[in-house]
Structure 1
């Protein structure tokens, strides 16, 4: 049962439910809340089941859930009496009934989604009688019924045809019996496979639990082995002398933990306990009071609004008085309350961080052990791992950049190499043509000297142009800079005057802003404290309202159940008292008395049969012994006869051999 609950809690904490339960909170759910969880799971399978149970009658809830479970082919274990207890347990939200249903649904959610989707197209719709008065609807319904009846007749004929074919075969009854046994064994095989899967899941969870415990033990041992005290120095005062003693990092950590635990024990937990006691006292007081109606709630809400308005008016009057001493004290009180709230919040964050750190350390130790088992290398820790990761990242980025540059350079080099080859070929062809032409004209070497002269002249002209261009650019730049400086000075003169005035105004405004800010902070702190109190009170009242609603619905369910039981009891009394024999026979008491009489007659017959068997037991045993002795005697005679027959055959063979020797 505990493994079943654990599987349900794990499945509900995952997507798409996200319930955030643990074993204790889930087991402490009230029947109405447990039924709501079952309704949410059914709504995940069939979206039409998304209903708030507080807005639905218990009979409708039971009917809706039972119809869907029937479509999904859920079979509760047991006979007809257990079926009635199953229905009753489903109505009242019994845990032994709902836990197996949740376990069965969460094991095969995807399969059941498909079945629920197909059921909409395969289940016959019940048409209300008022719609059947329409001729088209009635004709369509009749056609549907006639088509179903035809299909039913065809199936009956097919079954009869198959029966006739099978009845002509030999050993018909024996084969039918074997088929029944095969079906039973297949169902048993499915049940055993399901049990095997459940045991595998339990084994898997047990192995995971064992691994977690082993990893935790390893990490604790490693922590104990690696706990090298980081030696620091501290002073221990004994009398007038001061002894210099070593204190370790472990001691500092222990001191911090002791301080934290002292704060939790001396400040936080007592406050929480006091608040819980106050809440309990208030709840007991509320429970002891009579039930409140809607008018009482409206009256209380009006009183709460009046008191809130009075509180706000008093706060405004107090702020308008501007009493310096009281204002300072209130400011200090508000700061102290804010600091205490921050301290509590930080303590809770520290507790959560410790739990998260412990879980992360367990995961890290598990990953470390897995990597050590995988490749046998030691895992880097802390700063070393960070440095190693940063180094790897920088190297990978540099490698990617270099690789990209190399690929680009290779592609460009290939293109340039190809263009160079083409240009060389063209240049060689042109040079050959030019040389042949120079040789024909009788001026060989003219093109080379002409190229040299053009190159030198081009270089000289470029140098002259650069000298002239640089001088002109420098002169123009100096002129532009001078004009820009003069323009900026003239434009900034008026702006500087305005800036001086604005600076004075800014100083005055900052002083006024600081004063307003201090007033705002004090007012905001008071309003924040009031708002937090009001939010807590509203939350508490909402929770009380929800609890009262759930209690109201639960009492309604119990009343309905008691009415059903009372109706059954009255029907039984009417049937038992009535003079009509047929009605009297329908009574459960009469049926039970009839069954008791039948069982007593059957017991008498069985006792008589037992008596006959006891009386004939001795003679029957003697007769069986005589039959066994007779079988043994006949077996002996058979052996003697076989032995005598074998001896006579051997004698004949010996006699025939002697006669042959005499003839020779």
Structure 2
């Protein structure tokens, strides 16, 4: 630990930190000051982390430091206990936690700087999958990934060049060679231009035309690339159009032969199925879930059971079983076969109701399966939206076609099943409607018979009694179901209780033994703790004045050491001055020869220097006097040279004009000779 502290102090005293710590001052830092030092080191790696911890809440500081240490790949203790202690120690500024972090950061500061620099460009943005379904977001994210890959390649190339070991001399030599090649190319280009201008008429126009041609060729290449891109986009658009057209044909085929009445009937059937699900199926499931929740809540709220509680529950269970048995026997006695004329219709209605519930369950499952298939289809469409035919190999295309065919065949089979179920549901509903109509007719006939025999209202009374009986039977069935569930639950609880009894019996025996041992151990612990507290208070009372004395002695020692060093340095400086003064006095008294320049006195040395300086001053004054004397003549001579230079320039311009006039005259003479008629022999 002392070696680590020395390493930390040495590195913190260096640039760029320059903290000026020693081992004692660094070890005496408060937790907040130690955390501030850690934050300063982190801010040197990431300047965005530079903050004064006194102005930041401790929770934000902890979250920020945990995040940056995770990004810097610092590995704290891996087991759960040490990890919790590490987090608590970092928040509290514990030395045992902060010092290893400082060692890790200071030892790997160059690598961590590189890692932090790369993390700003190579950490991917988390984009949800549903947002990637958008074409614009997908293309932008693909461009982002390609740029990230390009940055990674460029950084690797840069590191490779950096580690190749090329020296500055080699780089300067390469630059000089390239400059020489550039100079040669410029010279060759100048010669070629001169040759073209001398031999080709209208050379400037030809050069300009060549430049325009090169520009047009570059534009042609760009247009060709744009043409290829447009072709690819057109191909992708056509493929998407074909897919959408195929989907449209499938929808048209599915809806072929359907009329408005058929669509309305289909919507009514769907509405009826949804109404049955909402009004009958879901409330029953919700009620069952509520009952199960209440039962489980009662089980959870029950306190820990004792053996007496077990016996009480067993007695209640026995009584409940007897009550259930008696109720079941009474129900069997009350059920007598009657001459109910509607029993057949009631049975058929019950069968239809059960089948309707089964069809509703099947329809819900099919809808859920259809939703899953539509989700998978959307994902596959998004995945293959930008893939063209040219991107697939023949084998891949064949596999894709076969998979699509299999999925299409399976979809057709499921569609046929769904149509069969819908047809059966329609038949059942039509049967139910016929039965209801028949029931109404029978009721009307019964009313007429009642009026004929003078017993009007008998059917309604009987119907009410049947409703009461059916309601009673439902309540009895519900009671029976609840009693059966309670019986099953009680049996299960008995099994659990027996298992817990069997498990807890040895544990209780062990617990009694451990409790006795704990009592004895606690007694010994209390006695030992009392002795420890007494001894600790005595030691602390004796240790406090000793610590105060040690601190005062250390401070006095540091002051005396500092004064000793200062006095030693002063004595050494005074000794050097005394030795120099003694040597100077000795040389002055004994005299020094002119040849012995090394042993001359300061007085002689300064006298010679003054003589030399006075001599130089006289020479400079004489030079200044000469310059002042010759200045007007030199000004006049400079003006004469300027006039001569202007005269020669005028002569040169006149000579150029005469030469141009002569060349024009020669050209006119040649043109006149060319236009004259000549006699050809």
Query: Does TM, normalized by the shorter one, top 0.5?
Result: no
**How does the TM-score come out when normalised to structure 1?**
0.26
**How does the TM-score come out when normalised to structure 2?**
0.25
| Structure with greater contact order relative to length (CA < 8 Å, sep ≥ 6) | 1
Q: Determine which structure has more spread, i.e. the larger CA radius of gyration.
A: 2
